[in-house]
Chain A
Amino acid sequence: MSLQRKKIQFIVFVLLLATACKEDIPIEEALPVQMPISQDVNAGDWQTVMDYDYLSNSSIPMPADINSATYRAELDLLVETSNATTVEQQSRVDFWGAGGVMRWNQLLRKLVAKYNLPLPVGSIPDPEKPVASPPFAARAYALLSVGQHDALIAAWKLKYSVNRPPPDMSEPLIKRSLPLTNLPSFPSEQAVIAGVSKKILTALFPFEKANIESIAIEHLNTIGWGGTGTESDIIAGNLLGDEVANIILARAKTDRMALARDPEKTYLDYFDIDVATVPNPWMSISDPPTDPLLPMFGRVKTWSDSTEVFSALPPPPPMVGSVAFEEDIANVYHIAKNRSREQWRISDYWADGAGTYTPPGHWNQIAEKLIIGSKWSEVRTARALSLINRAMLDSGILCWYAKYKYYVPRPSQINPDIKTSTGIPNFPSYTSGHSSFSASAGTILGYLFPDQKENLISQYVEAGDSRVYGGIHYMFDNIEGRKSGILIGELIIENALSDGADD
């Protein structure tokens, strides 16, 4: 055998080895264990979103004294549990140690992505398995965030009125495996988060009940494994979370979301749309034509005062055929014909279409990166998410109202030569949902993280522009959506300035 053949055999062998290597992509996002700079001692006095006194109406039993035999027994149990923690359990303690509020927000994003799939044409939605479209998702993120926010404010108030010290201060044999804080331990804030989040997510995604419950149980278990709370801390926290969720869900029942799908097409009457006489009304350009998405979502109850929200309603758009309209659609056509790779990348990056977190979820992800770096308490994290998600829901509602009030066709309906780099949403064009959601969330985040403001503005501008680059929106959809998003953001900030958190 010649030397050459030996060489060939050697090369083949090396390459076979190389091809055997596997590239793993982690399923769970690794986040650092949080060590808050401040515990926000006064957060119990912050204003809740719901005008409701959760603690006066609560059935939480008052805790046993730390010198009582009852509490002594709890401490002894925790000594045992916390010293028997396995390596696997410790990894779950660290997972949740990154922040319960953020972890449940991530879980909701995953559920939204899982359920954000269009229904097969002609099928009737199963209430157990909702379609997590952007409007549905915006409402879901807001419900979870408001629930977490209000529940943690109530928890903080109770913590600092009971003032039970962390268990390992009373019993040094307890093995705390998370950083020590001086946050009073009754009720456990992690149990509060688990209780409120589990209940709200189960109501939103009934089919996921068992899955969500097992995640909540794990979350609660990590409190004992990590030695950060006793049984009564956990029971009280879980119960408080559950009670707050009930109040939030009662509001959700009556917020008119149930009417948004509108299969009887009452929206045509409501918005006075006569398809026969309106010149150039929106039409479904998918094959077969499909009913538009949630036409009555614009009537869903806003978190801010609805009169103030609707004062930001965009003006009527240029009429199809007008000079302004022709100039705008010529611009969309020009972009579609000459779309650069960078414009394509931008339209893909912000598309957040089927099977993703949706645009509101994308902005929760952007918020997450900023929040993780800022070492906030759980309650301050919840406030940030409550602000951006209420802003996105309110601006989304306003945007949807405009879409059906003005009923503007997509660019490709008017000019079928406009080819797109992203799917054409099956609902009217004006204003852009992406611009509305993004500008409202970005405006709020600019208030929360002033040193990031310029960067956030360029991100929400890019998110809105991405839809014009994609060929599915006019620039006037984008500009007006952005304007109203900024106005809604500013409206929410105005109220946030007096909620007590900045004092």
Chain B
Amino acid sequence: MAQKIALYPYIVMFLFTQFSMSQGPLDGFLKGQGNIVTAISFSHESFDRYYVGNQGTINRNLGTIGTNSANLFVAGGLTEYLDLVLTLPYISTSASEGFWSDQHDFQDIAVYLKGSLFKLTVPDQSQLQLLAAVGVTTPLTDYIADAPVSIGNQSTQIETRLIGHFKSIKGIFVTSQFGYIKRNNITLDREFEISVPDAWDYVLRTGGSYKKLYVDGWFQYQNSRSGTDIGPGVPFPSNEIDYTRVGFTLYHPLPLMNHFGISLGAAFTLNGKNIGDSNRISGALIYEFSTKKSAPQNKKSS
């Protein structure tokens, strides 16, 4: 049983606000047909310093922007080669100073398909795998997109990713993913259409996946291809958002409770453009199971 848990590590930290996007819900592991992972995660993130263009700024009329979110995560193997991943966050954000209204609502539902393109097993049983993923993210509610305190940008986006995944026989892995996020135009309450910049996204993740522990550290760089700087009267969703972040994740199965585990994570912003200089902690409760009658075999495809 412990063996089984080690087969399904995953990442469960998300935060999608005006100022921050997650490092992505996709990892390099495939679940295997019929195996399903669900997670409820909670995270807290805050910043009092943000970047206007590249310039760090403190705004005493906003104070500290604090964001709490709860996220539902489901990932399951449709086949041995193809996973479906779904995320659904509820976000609440507020400013400690000034008079802007708080915001809270369900944000954007995201659905991804992630599949294996090819896999290579080298003589010592290490594996090298190339995966591709496509995803659609779309707002679930009519939340406010264009305010200093908001939970998202209302843009429906399509993203494509290529994921290279190396796993050694000793459980060490390295995952490198490169994605392009295409963001659709939105229409503001002011009744004009604006462009939400597309972005390139790169994530490098490395760690170890063992019987009773999963640990990783990651680096993420996201760069919008164009866009505006934060400024008076400039629609926020049109901002060029770039950032570099690092973080880590720990996962441990719960003792005495089969199928359950907990994870803990943190993320730190190193620098950015038109984004909050935020740090984040998160925790999650994970439940995983298989729709197959018998426990899955120790699959090579994991």
Contact = CB atoms under 8 A, between A and B. Distances in A.
24 contacts: A4-B82, A5-B81, A8-B82, A8-B113, A8-B115, A12-B134, A12-B160, A18-B158, A19-B158, A19-B180, A23-B184, A117-B232, A285-B99, A286-B61, A287-B97, A288-B60, A344-B144, A345-B189, A355-B231, A355-B234, A412-B99, A416-B99, A419-B100, A421-B101
Nearest to B185: A23
B146 interface: yes
A12 B132 CA distance: 7
B195 A25 contact: yes
B191 interface: yes
A351 B190 contact: yes
Q: How large is the interface on B (under 10, 10 to 19, 20 to 34, 35 or more residues)?
A: 35 or more
B243 to A, nearest CB: 21
B233 A117 contact: yes
Main secondary structure of the interface of A (DSSP, over half): loop
Nearest to A424: B99
B49 interface: no
B101 A287 contact: no
A420 interface: yes
Interface string A1-42: 110110011011001101101010100000000000000000
A349 B191 contact: yes
Interface in B193-234: 193-195, 198, 231-234
B194 A25 contact: yes
A18 B182 contact: yes
Most buried by B among A8, A287, A345, A354: A8
B117 A287 contact: no
The 3 closest A-B pairs by CB, nearest first: A355-B233, A348-B189, A354-B232
A286 B63 CA distance: 12
Given A25-B195, A412-B99, A8 B132 contact: yes
Interface in B228-271: 231-234
Given A287-B61, A419-B102, A5 B193 contact: no
Given A8-B81, A25-B195, A117 B231 contact: yes
A421 B233 contact: no
A19 B231 contact: no
A15 B99 CA distance: 43
Nearest to B195: A25
Interface of A: 1-2, 4-5, 8-9, 11-12, 15-16, 18-19, 21, 23, 25, 113, 116-118, 285-288, 336, 339, 341, 344-345, 348-349, 351, 353-356, 412, 416, 418-421, 424, 471
Interface of B: 60-61, 79, 81-82, 97-102, 113, 115-118, 132, 134, 142, 144, 146-147, 158-160, 180, 182, 184-185, 188-191, 193-195, 198, 231-234
A119 to B, nearest CB: 10
Contacts of A18: 158, 182
Given A287-B61, A419-B100, A424-B99, 9 more contacts: A4-B79, A5-B115, A12-B132, A18-B182, A23-B195, A25-B185, A339-B101, A351-B190, A419-B99
Contacts of B159: 19
Contacts of A23: 184-185, 195
Contact of B117 (A5, A118, A348): A5
Given A18-B158, A344-B144, A336 B194 contact: no
Contacts of A421: 100-101, 144, 147
Nearest to B94: A419
A8 B99 contact: no
Contacts of A344: 144, 189
Contact of B233 (A12, A15, A116, A288): A116
Nearest to A350: B190
A355 B232 contact: yes
Contacts of B147: 421
Given A4-B82, A9-B132, A118-B232, A348 B99 contact: no
Contacts of A419: 99-102
Most buried by A among B79, B97, B134: B134
B237 to A, nearest CB: 13
B112 to A, nearest CB: 11
Contacts of B113: 8, 11
Nearest to B188: A348
Given A19-B160, A23-B195, A419-B102, A348 B146 contact: yes
A354 B191 contact: no
A353 B198 CA distance: 27
A25 B193 contact: yes
A351 to B, nearest CB: 7
A416 B134 CA distance: 46
B182 A19 contact: yes
Contacts of A285: 99
Nearest to B81: A4
A277 to B, nearest CB: 27
Contact of A349 (B60, B61, B82, B190): B190
